[in-house]
Each structure stands twice: as structure tokens, then as C-alpha cells.
């Protein structure tokens, strides 16, 4: 798949969601054309999730069954009234002349997807230090071939689906399958693997994200006062960028479904009862609640809280006589949402209880906010850009925090529905309170993620718009202060979004999957089908990442992992075999990193070479390394005491060139070099004189060669990373 195909997918998926969801949006005749099109996006998403959950209970998500999940997309084509309404809405939206917004959207996607757009062979990358995308992609592969009730056969040598039981059966640990099912369905419809599809499909959800943020503005805040703020709503979305880089697709789908439910609840309570608009909003409540149960059930209480506050407010404001009918209809829609798919609800209950137990234990979560000081918390909460907030320091953090507080005050001052605007952040305040009381590590991050769309509504649009409106009121000093706050907050939002992009770029250089990995997959399905392949994750810089993804591309082979290394198999590491297993057959091939093959296996015949990997016919086995850094991949630095254990496959020489680091350039001394191998005479030599020091050690084949290099300094003793490894190769002996 090339970049053009990826961009077509990026645009085709939201278009498909609009068609799929317009059967609901078309009922909302009281809304504007832009609002109907915006609502069609999340409506299509939750409709597809409902279809996926229903169909995959009985059938794998492949062939006609995958297309059936999008069957409501035919309604705007086949039903004349819907077709005419859709054409009118698209025509009206086209005439709205949203050029700046479209340009901002193009800029955002160019920055978001830059790592795959500028490199012709890159297909996938992880944008942060976690690796959760493996779960959703491997789960999607399973659901393309099985139902979510079919438990996979667990295998230590074919471990691809070993993590899949967390979404399988009546009592899965995660209680959901929405993200995996949606990805499986889209993969079957588009005709590309879930891995190739993942980045573009996730990025395309930004259309639904912005649509819901804009609908939230229209529902709780009001129209924006300036077009640049509308453009900012599209392109300054650090929270969505965090979601994208973090690869937490279930949480992203949950945030979208949850925001849809809250907005639909607010609109349904004021819609005329018994008419098509009310029916449309009630359908949206029902479907979005099911989508939440299906995609991310632990969010359900945190979504029902703001919806419940809006429901109670309706009773208080309008009185029981006028309130009971719309309130009863909304309550009925929520009850029907729980009843829509019994499997989704029962599984969600079990998943919620399991996640609650894990959260209360609070032993498996990273606290992203841990490096921050108090002055940096509010900027980090507003954007989830911890790196940007950390770079502020207290001197900029306090003024920016003040600007955020003033901006929030201005937002509420000019909001058309202040109570509703406060209600959508009720769960955030509740979770922050719990975090402060119980010191919950994950609480700061989740307090933003659970209300992510509404944070995307407030920052940038509502807060900047409130400050912009405030500039026209009050005394001169107030106008100057609000202008300064507007400029400072806008600059920080640009900086925070850019920092999130940069974080993704950083990890995309390290944790990347290129197109040639699929050549490895083809080889595993043909030449290496059923044969043993030994994977050496410690030869990769990102041992956890590439060792785990090896199971995806070598799924038709039997995998064993090398004994050296602590992250062999990544998330699968507790259910795989290493080369120390007594029943391991002789490997037909060895998978190592490309850099490793160019150094420790420069003399080894190769079956396949890719950008990040090399598949070898045999290997020079490295059993241990000490005194060098890093231990994953070929070493770059060394101390003054180096030990290696190598078992070469043939007679060879180790060529090693060392030089002092620039800060230790005046270092002088000598190296004592030794090689010991059982049953063979020892080899020793010394190197003195000025650097660089070039070591040439003969290696005995098929036995363990114990190599030691010790540096004796003429001055201060060397530190743990005093030397640079300028050259390292194992070559055949002449």
C-alpha cells in the first residue's frame, strides 16, 4: 500500500461513515445542513459498531458479512427522500466556503501522518513508548477469521493470538471488542491488512472528533466569533494527537461514543416529542450507549454522569409536567441501549468490574504527570502534552495557568448553556478528586481522555473564543490582559500540538514497520510454513516492539526466541518458548535486526533483507555481552572492561575498533585482549599507542569463545561509557 492509497482510505472512511449514519442524521430536520453532516459521522460510527457486534457474534468479519456491517450506507442511495436530503446538505456545506478550515485540516493531517507520508516504504509506527496497537491489530486478525465467542488455540510457538482471549467469550477480561471488530470489518471491506490500515483509519477518526467538538460548541457554548478560531478547532488538537500517538483505539472510540451520547441527550431533552428530530436523537442515544459498551465499557459511568446531570436539570428547569415525556423517552433510550445487544452488555459488565479491580490495585499504571511541578499541571491537563508543559517550567507555567483559568471563566461567561458546559466536565472533576485523594497514578491522564472530545472543544475553540469576546468589553487594562492571555494561550496550543507531533516523529524512527516485513510474511507462508524460526529480539534496538511483531509476520512458522534478552516476545513473552526449550527443532532461519546482521553476522548467508530486519540461514550466536551499551542491538559505547561470549558458525575474525569519546580524547593507555575456548589454546594480545585501537580476534567455530578486553589507563580510570565503538564486524577467516 502506498501513500496515495492511504490518503484515499483517509478520505473514504469518513465519507463511508456519513453514508452509514445518515439514516439517523436525516431525521434531524430541525438542524442545519452542516450539523446533519457532522452528526452523520458519529452516527455512522456507532451504527457500524452495533452491526459489528451483532454480526460477529455469529460470523467472522469477512466477505459479505463485513459489507453487511455497512448496509445502512445503502439507505441514502436507495431511499429518495434521504438521497435528496443528503444532496441538499452536501451542496449547502460546499457553498459555505470553509476554505481556511479545509486548509487547516490538510495541514493537520500532513503533520499527523508525516512519518508515513515522507518515507515511501513505511506502513506503520507506534507514536509513544507503549505498544498497545498490537492488541487491536492481532485481535482484528482473529475476528476476521472467527467470532468473538471462538476462543483461539493458544500456542507457545505460534503466539500471535495468545493475547486475544482478553476480548473473547462471555467473560473477557477487557469486556469489549469494538476496536478490534471495527478494524477487522474495515480491513475486509478495504482489502488490506489491519496493520496497513491502522494509522490511516485511526487518523480518519479526527473528522468525527472535530465534528463532535463543533457540535458540542453549538450545543453548550454557541457560535464562534472568528474564522481563525474555527480553523484552530481543526488543526490545534493536541489531545487527539495524543490519542493517535498513544494508539489507544478503544479509548478513542469510547470518547467519541461518549460525547455523542452526552450531546444527543442534551438535544433530545429539548426536541419536540413525537417528531422525527426527537426520534433521531433517541436513536443516537441508544446506539452511542451500545457503542460505548462495545468499545470501552469502563467509561460508561463517566459518560452517564454528565448525561444524568442534564436529565435532572431538565426536571428542575421545566417542571415535572413538561419534563416527564422527553425525560421518559431519554431514559427509555438509555435502557434500550443496554438491551440492544445482551452479549455486549454482559461482556461490558464483566470488563468494567475487571478494570475497576485493576484500577483500585493501582500497580500497573504509568503516571505521565509524575515529572511535572504544580505550575505545569493545568497546561498539561488542557492538552495532554506533558512534554510541552514540562518545558514551560514554573516561570511560564504560572502565567499560562492563570491565562487558562481566565479563559475558562470567559468561556463560561459567554456560554449559552453554562450548566451543560459544566456538566460535560463533571466526570473530569470527579476523577481528579479521586486521583488527589487516593494518589491514583493513571487518574490525571484518564480524567482528560474520558472527556477528550470536550477538551478538544474547549481547547482551543471555546476558551480562545471566550478570550476573544472578552477583549471587546471592560476597561483598557482588562482588554490588554485578555489580549495577552489570548496570544499566550494560542501560542501554547500551537507549541503543545507541535510537541505531540514531535513525540510521534521521535518514536516513528525507532518503532517502525516497513513494507518489506510483508515479504517476510509471504516467505513464512510459503518456504517457512510449519518450520522453526529463531527470533532474536535483543538484536533490535526496540527489542520489545520488534520481537512482538515478529509473531505477526511469522504466524505460519513455529517461533522460538533467543535466550539472551529480557523482552523476548513483548506482551507475549510469558507464553513463548526460548531456544533453551528441550524440544526445539533445528531452526530453518534466524531473524535478527538489519544492523546486527551487518555487524555480528556480516559473514552469514541471508534469506531475506529488509529495512529493519534480516533473515539468516545460520547465525553467529552471541550468548552474553557486558561492559557495552546498549545491550539491545549492536553496541555503540563501551567501558574499559568488555566481555563477550560468541559461538560462531564458522571460522571467523572479530574486528572491533574503539576510540575515546570526544570528552575523553586525551585518554591514553593499553588494551589487554584475550580469547578462551574450551579445548583450544588461549589467544592473547595487547594494543597500545594512540587511538583508534583496532582489535582483530580469531574465533573458533561451533564452540563458545569467551572474549575479554581490559583497558589500563595511564591516568584516570575510564568510566562506564568512555569509548565509542567505531567498527564491529565478524568476517570469515581467510
Q: Could you read off the pLDDT of 309-332 as tens digits, one per residue?
A: 999 999 998 888 888 889 999 999
- In the chain, what percentage of residues exceed pLDDT 90? 78
Is 80 exceeded by the pLDDT of residue 334?
Answer: yes
Backbone angles phi, psi at 640, to 5 degrees: -85, 5
Supply the pLDDT for residue 652: 94
| This prediction's pTM | 0.94
**Strand partners of residue 675:** 683, 707
Q: How many helices (H) and strands (E) does the chain have?
A: 27, 15
Read off the pLDDT of residues 140-163 as tens digits, 9 standing for 90 and up. Answer: 999 999 999 998 889 999 999 998
Supply the pLDDT for residue 223: 93
Read off the pLDDT of residues 166-180 as tens digits, 9 standing for 90 and up. Answer: 999 999 999 999 999
pLDDT band at residue 94 under the 50/70/90 scheme: confident
Read off the pLDDT of residues 631-680 as tens digits, 9 standing for 90 and up. Answer: 999 999 999 899 999 999 999 999 999 998 887 777 788 899 999 999 99
Supply the pLDDT for residue 153: 86
Read off the pLDDT of residues 523-577 as tens digits, 9 standing for 90 and up. Answer: 999 999 999 999 999 999 999 999 999 999 999 999 999 999 888 889 998 899 9
Supply the pLDDT for residue 192: 94
For the chain, the structural domain boundaries read 3-505, 516-616, 623-732
Alpha carbons 511 and 508: distance in angstroms, whole number: 5
Read off the pLDDT of residues 102-140 as tens digits, 9 standing for 90 and up. Answer: 899 999 999 999 999 988 889 999 888 888 999 999 999
Computed over every residue of the chain, the mean pLDDT equals 92
> Stretch 196-219: mean pLDDT, rounded?
96
Is 70 exceeded by the pLDDT of residue 302?
Answer: yes
Alpha carbons 552 and 587: distance in angstroms, whole number: 18
> Stretch 52-74: mean pLDDT, rounded?
97
Supply the pLDDT for residue 562: 95
> Stretch 16-40: mean pLDDT, rounded?
94
Is 90 exceeded by the pLDDT of residue 260?
Answer: yes
3-state secondary structure of 667: coil
Nearest CA-CA partner of 28 in 42, 15, 16: 42
Higher pLDDT, 128 or 686: 686
Alpha carbons 194 and 1: distance in angstroms, whole number: 12
Give residue for cell 483517509: 10
Supply the pLDDT for residue 288: 98
With both helix axes pointing from N to C terminus, report the angle between 374-383 and 386-414 in degrees, rounded to the nearest 10: 70
Supply the pLDDT for residue 719: 65
Alpha carbons 532 and 465: distance in angstroms, whole number: 62
Whether 563 and 582 have beta carbons less than 8 Å apart is answered as no
Class of domain 623-732: mainly beta
Supply the pLDDT for residue 35: 94
Supply the pLDDT for residue 554: 96
Amino acid at each position: 500500500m502506498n501513500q496515495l492509497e492511504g490518503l484515499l482510505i483517509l478520505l473514504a472512511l469518513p465519507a463511508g461513515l456519513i453514508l452509514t449514519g445518515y439514516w439517523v442524521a436525516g431525521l434531524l430536520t430541525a438542524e442545519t445542513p452542516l450539523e446533519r453532516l457532522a452528526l452523520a459521522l458519529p452516527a455512522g460510527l456507532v451504527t457500524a459498531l452495533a452491526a459489528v457486534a451483532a454480526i460477529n457474534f455469529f460470523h467472522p468479519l469477512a466477505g459479505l458479512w463485513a459489507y453487511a456491517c455497512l448496509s445502512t450506507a445503502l439507505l441514502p442511495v436507495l431511499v429518495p427522500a434521504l438521497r435528496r436530503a443528503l444532496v441538499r446538505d452536501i451542496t449547502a456545506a460546499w457553498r459555505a466556503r470553509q476554505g481556511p478550515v479545509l486548509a487547516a485540516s490538510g495541514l493537520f493531517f500532513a503533520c499527523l501522518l508525516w512519518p508515513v507520508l515522507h518515507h515511501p516504504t513505511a506502513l506503520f509506527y507506534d507514536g509513544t513508548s507503549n505498544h498497545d496497537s498490537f492488541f487491536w491489530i492481532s485481535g482484528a486478525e482473529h475476528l476476521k477469521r472467527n467470532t468473538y465467542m471462538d476462543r483461539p488455540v493458544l500456542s507457545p510457538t505460534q503466539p500471535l493470538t495468545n493475547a486475544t482471549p482478553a476480548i473473547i467469550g462471555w467473560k473477557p477480561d477487557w469486556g469489549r471488542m469494538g476496536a478490534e471488530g471495527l478494524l477487522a470489518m474495515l480491513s475486509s471491506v478495504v482489502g488490506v491488512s489491519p496493520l496497513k490500515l491502522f494509522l490511516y483509519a485511526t487518523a480518519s477518526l479526527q473528522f468525527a472528533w472535530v465534528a463532535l467538538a463543533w457540535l458540542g460548541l453549538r450545543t453548550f457554548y454557541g457560535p464562534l466569533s472568528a474564522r481563525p478560531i474555527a480553523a484552530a478547532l481543526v488543526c490545534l488538537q493536541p489531545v487527539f494527537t495524543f490519542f493517535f500517538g498513544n494508539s489507544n483505539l478503544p479509548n478513542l472510540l469510547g470518547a467519541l461514543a461518549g460525547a455523542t451520547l452526552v450531546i444527543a441527550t442534551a438535544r433530545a431533552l429539548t426536541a419536540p416529542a413525537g417528531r422525527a428530530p426527537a426520534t433521531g436523537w433517541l436513536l443516537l442515544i441508544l446506539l452511542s450507549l451500545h457503542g460505548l459498551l462495545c468499545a470501552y465499557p469502563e467509561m460508561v459511568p463517566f459518560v452517564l454522569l454528565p448525561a444524568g446531570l442534564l436529565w435532572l436539570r431538565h426536571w428542575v428547569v421545566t417542571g415535572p409536567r413538561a419534563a416527564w415525556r422527553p425525560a421518559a423517552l431519554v431514559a427509555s433510550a438509555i435502557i434500550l441501549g443496554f438491551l440492544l445487544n445482551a452479549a455486549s452488555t454482559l461482556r461490558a459488565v464483566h470488563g468494567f468490574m475487571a478494570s475497576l479491580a485493576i484500577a483500585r490495585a493501582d500497580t500497573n499504571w504509568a503516571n505521565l504527570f509524575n515529572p511535572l511541578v504544580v505550575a505545569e499541571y493545568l497546561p498539561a491537563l488542557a492538552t495532554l502534552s506533558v512534554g510541552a508543559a514540562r518545558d514551560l517550567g514554573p516561570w511560564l507555567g504560572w502565567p499560562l495557568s492563570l491565562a487558562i483559568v481566565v479563559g475558562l471563566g470567559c468561556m463560561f461567561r459567554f456560554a449559552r448553556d453554562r450548566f451543560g458546559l459544566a456538566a460535560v466536565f463533571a466526570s473530569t472533576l470527579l476523577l481528579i478528586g479521586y486521583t488527589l485523594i487516593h494518589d491514583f497514578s493513571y487518574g490525571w491522564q484518564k480524567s482528560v481522555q474520558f472527556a477528550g472530545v470536550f477538551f478538544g472543544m474547549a481547547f482551543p475553540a471555546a476558551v480562545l473564543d471566550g478570550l476573544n469576546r472578552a477583549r471587546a468589553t471592560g476597561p483598557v487594562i482588562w482588554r490588554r490582559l485578555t489580549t495577552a492571555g489570548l496570544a499566550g494561550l494560542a501560542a501554547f496550543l500551537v507549541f503543545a500540538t507541535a510537541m505531540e507531533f514531535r513525540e510521534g516523529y521521535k518514536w516513528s524512527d525507532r518503532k517502525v514497520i516497513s513494507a518489506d516485513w510483508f515479504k517476510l510474511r509471504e516467505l513464512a507462508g510459503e518456504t517457512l510454513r510449519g518450520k522453526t524460526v529463531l527470533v532474536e529480539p535483543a538484536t533490535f534496538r526496540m527489542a520489545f516492539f520488534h520481537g512482538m511483531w515478529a509473531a505477526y509476520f511469522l504466524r505460519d512458522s513455529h517461533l522460538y526466541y533467543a535466550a539472551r534478552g529480557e523482552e523476548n516476545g513483548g506482551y507475549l513473552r510469558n507464553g513463548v518458548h526460548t531456544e533453551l526449550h528441550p524440544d526445539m527443532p533445528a531452526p530453518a532461519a534466524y531473524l535478527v535486526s538489519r544492523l546486527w546482521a551487518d555487524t555480528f553476522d556480516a559473514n552469514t548467508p541471508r534469506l531475506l533483507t529488509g529495512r529493519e530486519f534480516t533473515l539468516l540461514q545460520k547465525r553467529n550466536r552471541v550468548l552474553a555481552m557486558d561492559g557495552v551499551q546498549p545491550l539491545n542491538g549492536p553496541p555503540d559505547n563501551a567501558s574499559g572492561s568488555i566481555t563477550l561470549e560468541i559461538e560462531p558458525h564458522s571460522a571467523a575474525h572479530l574486528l572491533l575498533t574503539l576510540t575515546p569519546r570526544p570528552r575523553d580524547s586525551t585518554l591514553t593507555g593499553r588494551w589487554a585482549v584475550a580469547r578462551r575456548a574450551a579445548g583450544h589454546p588461549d589467544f592473547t594480545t595487547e594494543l597500545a599507542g594512540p587511538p583508534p585501537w583496532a582489535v582483530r580476534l580469531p574465533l573458533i567455530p561451533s564452540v563458545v569463545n569467551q572474549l575479554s578486553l581490559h583497558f589500563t589507563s595511564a591516568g584516570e580510570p575510564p568510566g562506564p561509557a568512555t569509548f565509542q565503538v567505531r567498527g564491529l564486524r565478524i568476517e570469515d577467516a581467510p
